[in-house]
Amino acid sequence: MPMQRFIQRLVKKLSPKRLSQPSPSGPTSKQILSRDQHGVSRSQIDKHALDVLYGLKRAGYEAYLVGGGVRDLLLGLEPKDFDVVTNAEPEAVKAVFKNKCRLIGRRFRLAHVRFGRQIIEVATFRGDSEASEVADKPKGRGRLNHTRAVDGQGRLLRDNVYGGMDEDVWRRDFTVNSLYYNIRDFSVADYTGGLDDIKAGVIRLIGDPETRYREDPVRMIRAVRFAAKLGFEIEPGTRDPIYDLAPLLKDVSHARMFEEVLKLFHSGVAVQVFEKLRHFGLFAYLFPQTEQMLAEQADGFPRMLVIEALKSTDDRIRHGKGVNPAFLFAAMLWEPMVARREQLLTEGLKPQDATFAAASDVLEWQRPATAVPRRFIGQVKDIWNLQYRLPRYQGDKAQKIVSHPRFRAAYDFLGVRVSAGAEELKEVFDWWTHYQTLDGVEQVAYANQVKKPGSRRRRPRRNRNPYRKRANPAPGKESPATPNEQD
């Protein structure tokens, strides 16, 4: 790896491209493609995005489609969402769309225009950096608008300096994201060389890469996401600083990191994203405990588990099925949880207590990297706990397990563990697969015929004393679970 980086730096030094990051002061290649020179048609644009564009136009404002919507349509892909940019300030956007519109964000003030469950995000053109200030002076509330602020490290704390399109184009992250579809004449404007980069399949930061990464370290993981999603190369000037600047991710708020992690791994190309994040040393800042396990365990098993989980996530997305953040976190943190649980078992905790405690510890230790909202924490714990209940399906336990709201996710996760090499679980997985094909009566009969090898003979119910204290099982051995004891 150090040799590889040395060569990359050398190439970077020798490469004339290094001097050619697009910037407002450098040579620019402004191009306007008229309607007949590009393939973006209104029929491909979401109806509500068009409503917003036309609404702003009717109110006398400039309005453009920008970002992924234009980029993906030019590439013949289906855009994930449509972003709008205008010269109307957020309050003016609110005046146009009235109660359909909410203003959000302090750091980057935006308007959200709501159509039922769909939201169209409307940004106001950002201005140039003249108005930047270093944020060590006290600020009154009145200064929220019309300011840009960076901290001592160059991190952008706030960017609410408004301007025109000719300034906004340089505030975008990558050239391919800085293409503007004008609703007035249906032309596409390109100031930063984005059209050429789309043709060449290149992800290129606008401006000086180090400054832009310091302003917002999330741009490093966005570069990786777009490269994986579009199958593009990250050009050397944009790529090389990432190796050194990766630790800046530590300073990004953990709530924003959670959102970014979902975008990364629910992109439909999660496996490639994972490989690239590891290559750049970025993964360690998203899942530090997982990275540590990957680094320590040379036999590749945990790595297989993460990859199998991501493959299954990609597959679900390809087939238009829903994906659950809890499943992703359960998979990413499974190995750290198992390791912690083992440790707690050797310290003498009972199995179910060890599972509880390990789950809480591992999720707590994950928090500084990415906050996980409370509702997902509960679901991750359920998926983990069910892993210890699924092998014990005899009799009426099966019905209780199958009616658990997280059964399906837990069953899928069991399947991922089998695919990743946990051969000993294959029989259990197959059992549940068959169980789900049966109707209610058949399920009861099927569960009752099971006699697991080595399972304890059931004592007649009348002899059981529920108040009698059970002896501690030997470390590492499960006590037979009673329903819900691990929930």
Please identify every residue annotated as catalytic: 81, 83, 173
H-type helices in 319-462, by residue range?
325-332, 334-346, 351-366, 374-389, 397-402, 407-419, 426-435, 440-448
| Partner interacting with residue 209 (select from ligand ATP, Mg ion, none; CB below 5-8 Å by kind) | none
- Given candidates 22, 55, 68, 302, which one binds ligand ATP under the rule CB under 6 A? 68
- Given candidates 46, 51, 62, 81, which one binds ligand ATP under the rule CB under 6 A? 81
Q: Which is nearer to Mg ion, 66 or 150 (CB)?
A: 66
Compute how many residues bind ligand ATP; rule: CB under 6 A: 13
184 contributes a contact to ligand ATP by CB under 6 A: no
Q: Binding mask 150-179 vs ligand ATP (x if CB under 6 A, - otherwise)?
A: ----------------------xx---xx-
Alpha-carbon distance 328 to 309, whole Å? 7
Q: Partners of 111 in the beta sheet? A: 103, 122
372 Cβ contact list (under 8 Å, min separation 6): 258, 325, 329, 363, 366, 380
128 contributes a contact to ligand ATP by CB under 6 A: no
Q: Which is nearer to ligand ATP, 13 or 80 (CB)?
A: 80
Compute how many residues bind Mg ion; rule: CB under 5 A: 4
Q: Do strands 110-115 and 118-124 pair parallel, antiparallel, or not at all (unpaired)?
A: antiparallel
Alpha-carbon distance 3 to 9, whole Å? 10
Among 160, 191, 197, 166, CA closest to 178: 191
362 Cβ contact list (under 8 Å, min separation 6): 289, 333, 336, 337, 340
Q: Which is nearer to ligand ATP, 217 or 302 (CB)?
A: 217
CB of 68 to Mg ion, least distance (A): 4
CB of 269 to ligand ATP, least distance (A): 12
Nearest residue (beta carbon) to ligand ATP: 68
| Partner interacting with residue 391 (select from ligand ATP, Mg ion, none; CB below 5-8 Å by kind) | none
Helix axes 407-419, 301-318, angle to 10 degrees: 130
Kindly identify the residues of this chain, within the stretch 71-110, that bind Mg ion according to CB under 5 A.
Answer: 81, 83
80 contributes a contact to ligand ATP by CB under 6 A: yes
Q: Which is nearer to ligand ATP, 177 or 352 (CB)?
A: 177
Q: Which is nearer to Mg ion, 53 or 401 (CB)?
A: 53
127 contributes a contact to Mg ion by CB under 5 A: no
- Given candidates 22, 68, 90, 194, which one binds Mg ion under the rule CB under 5 A? 68
Full 3-state SS string of 345-366: HHCCCCHHHHHHHHHHHHHHHH
Q: Partners of 369 in the beta sheet? A: none
Q: Which is nearer to Mg ion, 68 or 415 (CB)?
A: 68
Q: Binding mask 431-450 vs Mg ion (x if CB under 5 A, - otherwise)?
A: --------------------
The residue whose two tokens read 């991710």 is 249
306 Cβ contact list (under 8 Å, min separation 6): 274, 290, 294, 331, 332
| Partner interacting with residue 172 (select from ligand ATP, Mg ion, none; CB below 5-8 Å by kind) | ligand ATP
CB of 285 to Mg ion, least distance (A): 23
385 contributes a contact to ligand ATP by CB under 6 A: no
- Given candidates 188, 218, 330, 414, which one binds ligand ATP under the rule CB under 6 A? 218
CB of 61 to Mg ion, least distance (A): 20
- Helix, strand and coil percent figures for the chain, each rounded to 5: 55, 10, 35
Bin 465: left if φ > 0, else alpha if -120 < ψ < 50, else beta: beta
Q: Which residues bind Mg ion (CB under 5 A)?
A: 67-68, 81, 83
